[in-house]
A and B are shown apart, each in its own frame.
Chain A
Amino acid sequence: MAIVSRGFRGRRTTDPRLPPGQYLERGFPVLSAGPTPRADLTTWTFSITAGGSTRASWTWAELQALPADDVVKDIHCVTKWTKLDSSWRGVSLDTLLDGVDISSAEQFALAHCDGGYTTNLPLADLRDGKAWIAYGYDGAPLRPEHGGPARLLVPHLYFWKSAKWVRSIELGTSETQGFWERLGYHAYGDPWKEQRYWGD
């Protein structure tokens, strides 16, 4: 039973698109663990790897040449803010994974980023129109502090899964915990189940 706070009313901005424990945010707060990395687009690549070998890789120009989606999504940060209707441009992971040789046992993904950040998620959560490598935000190139030149966008999970400065996705046959997942945050991170921390 919750403790009732005498006289507390709150803002009462309820919205069916707001997951439990979240509040509406109109700005776009920044959260990251260290300095913003500096990317060199002339040498930048995005790769899909497994077992220490590269299964597929794209240069910046090659990524830009792939068909891109413009998507409008609600994003939910584990620090409680939710931003509705954020506009992104990027390449669907379906497009990138299509044609990559993946065994049926390789069900787990670990995203690796500039700066050393990692995050894990089931491969299934990257498929079927649920995830993108995003390089545009609100009609402009994605800014570095928000993960530019490119970040993973997986809006159905808490936003730490949408790894900034993403450079590769490593496929594996077992789950390897990522950066925040090893530091107290939930392994899956479904905002609708409020899976914020270990044990949620």
Chain B
Amino acid sequence: MTEAADEVADLAPDDVPYSLPWRVATLVHRHRETATAVTLDLDVPGWRGAMAGQHVDVRLTAEDGYSAQRSYSLASPASMGMAAGDATSERIALTVQVVDDGEVSPYLTEDLELGDQVELRGPIGNWFVWHPADPRPVQLVAGGSGLVPLMSMVRTHAARGSSAPQRLLVSVRSPDDALYADELDRPSPAVEVTRVWTRSGPPGWTGRVGRVDAELLRAACFPPDVAPRVFVCGPTTFVEAVADALVDLGHDADLIRTERFGPTGV
């Protein structure tokens, strides 16, 4: 992975250490994705731009000074390298999935109103990133709201006109839980989308319902011999199972990047 880190540094323009001050972000648009997920468009003056796949820390502060921080992935395409001050370069989108019994996500998805401000810092995470200069085929594998940072990669791929072949495998419980469904139902010609329903498919669905397994990964993903760069994001159990199965199928572990969240039950 150290060699791979060097490769990231070569591809990314952003390998010089920088500091990440808290910035004030203003909510300019909100879009409900599902019953439990909302996309927040925020204007962030001074935003330095981000690579596809990165996240930010959001901080909420109560009137008495109590504060809480959480991390959220950027859903917007990479804005790295765009002219400072460009309106789009200082606007970001976060998709927030409500966490049961969560402290910050219910406020962001239910209470935050247009014009309200929050503090955030970022971008963070210079590893789980895809750079449009990377010519390798790109295999994206998402479980649930793990789709968010991968959607940034899909959007970046489209926005930059990348010619790298790109496939997206999305595991989602049911159509009601599907993020970005409209956008992915009319994909750009360069991204192939495979959906896996783990609980129930759309009305009239007669195909398979169940978890992602090795057979499905073999059928839906680029084969190991084209050496795709693979990004896997989702709950820990999903990421563990998918990454293990991909290695078993012959994928090079050094080309697989993972981002996990959620408890393991240990």
Q: Are A and B genuine complex partners? A: yes
| A→B interface (CB under 8 Å) | 2-12, 14, 21, 23, 25-37, 79-80, 115-118, 137-138, 143, 145-146, 179-180, 182-184, 197-200
- Contact call A25/B62, Cβ cutoff below 8 A: no
* Smallest CB separation, B27 vs chain A (Å): 11
Contact residues in A for B1 (Cβ distance below 8 Å) = 33-34, 115-117, 179
Asked if B19 CB lies within 8 Å of chain A CBs, one says: yes
Of A6, A27, A31, A36, the residue contacting B116 (CB under 8 A) is: A6
- Using A4-B62, A5-B61, A80-B70 as known contacts, say yes or no to A197 and B124 having CB atoms under 8 A apart: yes
Taking CB atoms and an 8 Å cut-off, the chain B residues in 243-266 that contact chain A are 243-244, 246-247, 253-254, 256-258, 260-266
B5 touches A182 (CB 8 A): yes
B68 at the interface (CB under 8 A from A): yes
Residues of B with C-beta under 8 A to A26: 263
Bound-complex Cα distance A26 to B266 (A): 10
Contact B118 A199 (CB under 8 A): no
Contact call B256/A34, Cβ cutoff below 8 A: yes
Measured in the bound complex, the distance between the Cα atoms of B103 and A200 in whole Å is 25
Contact A9 B240 (CB under 8 A): no
In the complex, which residues of chain A have a beta carbon less than 8 angstroms from the beta carbon of B125? 183-184
> Could you show 20 A-B contacts with beta carbons less than 8 Å apart?
A3-B24, A3-B117, A5-B112, A5-B116, A8-B61, A8-B111, A10-B103, A23-B68, A27-B265, A30-B260, A32-B260, A33-B1, A34-B253, A35-B243, A37-B253, A80-B70, A184-B17, A184-B124, A197-B20, A198-B19
The answer to whether B257 touches A4 (Cβ under 8 A) is no
Q: Nearest A residue to B236 by beta-carbon distance?
A: A30
Q: How far is the CB of A68 from chain B (nearest CB, A)?
A: 20
Chain A min CB distance to B250 (Å): 13
Other-chain residue from A7, A138, A183, A200 in contact with B126 (beta carbon distance below 8 A): A183
Query: How close is B237's CB to chain A, nearest CB, in angstroms?
Result: 9
- Asked if B61 and A115 sit within 8 Å, CB to CB, the answer is no
Q: Are A138 and B62 in contact (CB under 8 A)?
A: no
- Once the chains bind, are A35 and B5 in contact (CB under 8 Å)? no
Q: Which residues of A contact B127 (CB under 8 A)?
A: 33, 179-180, 183
Counted as pairs of residues, one from A and one from B, with CB atoms less than 8 Å apart, the total is 147
Set B20, B112, B118, B254: member contacting A198, Cβ < 8 A: B20
Does B2 lie at the interface of the complex (its beta carbon under 8 Å from any beta carbon of A)? yes
Apart from the given pairs A29-B260, A34-B256, 14 other A-B contacts in the complex at a CB distance below 8 Å: A7-B111, A10-B60, A11-B68, A23-B68, A27-B264, A28-B264, A29-B262, A29-B264, A33-B127, A34-B253, A35-B247, A179-B2, A180-B127, A199-B18
The answer to whether A3 touches B107 (Cβ under 8 A) is no
Measured CB to CB, the closest approach of chain A to B67, in angstroms, equals 7
Residues of the A chain whose Cβ atoms lie less than 8 Å from the Cβ of B243: 34-36
Contacts of A4 in B (CB 8 A): 61-63
CA distance A8 to B67 in the complex (A): 9
CA distance A26 to B264 in the complex (A): 10
Residue of A nearest to B128 (CB): A33
- Docked Cα-Cα span, A69 to B3, in Å, equals 35
A35 pairs with B18, CB closer than 8 A: no
Give the distance in Å from the alpha carbon of A5 to the alpha carbon of B64 in the complex: 11
Determine whether the beta carbon of A179 is less than 8 Å from that of B5: yes
Q: How far is the CA of A91 from the CA of B19 in the complex (A)?
A: 37
Using CB atoms, name the residue of chain A closest to B111. A7
Q: Which of B2, B8, B61 contacts A2 (CB 8 A)?
A: B61
What's the least CB distance linking A187 to chain B, in Å? Answer: 9
- Residue A80 contacts which of B18, B69, B111, B117 (CB distance < 8 angstroms)? B69
Q: How far apart sit A79 and B65, CA to CA, in the bound complex (Å)? A: 21
Distance in Å from the Cβ of A197 to the closest Cβ of chain B?
5
- Indicate whether B9 reaches chain A with its CB closer than 8 angstroms: yes
How far in angstroms is the closest Cβ of chain B from A79? 6
**Cα separation A8 to B104 with both chains bound (whole Å):** 9
- Shortest B178–chain A CB gap in Å is 25
CA of A25 to CA of B118, assembled, Å = 24
Q: Which chain B residues border A29 with CB–CB below 8 Å?
A: 236, 260-264
Smallest CB-CB separation from A181: which chain B residue? B17
**Shortest Cβ-Cβ A-B pairs, 3 listed:** A199-B19, A27-B263, A116-B1
**How far, in Å, is B36 (CB) from chain A's closest CB?**
19
Q: Known: A4-B61, A12-B66. Contact between A28 and B18, CB under 8 A?
A: no
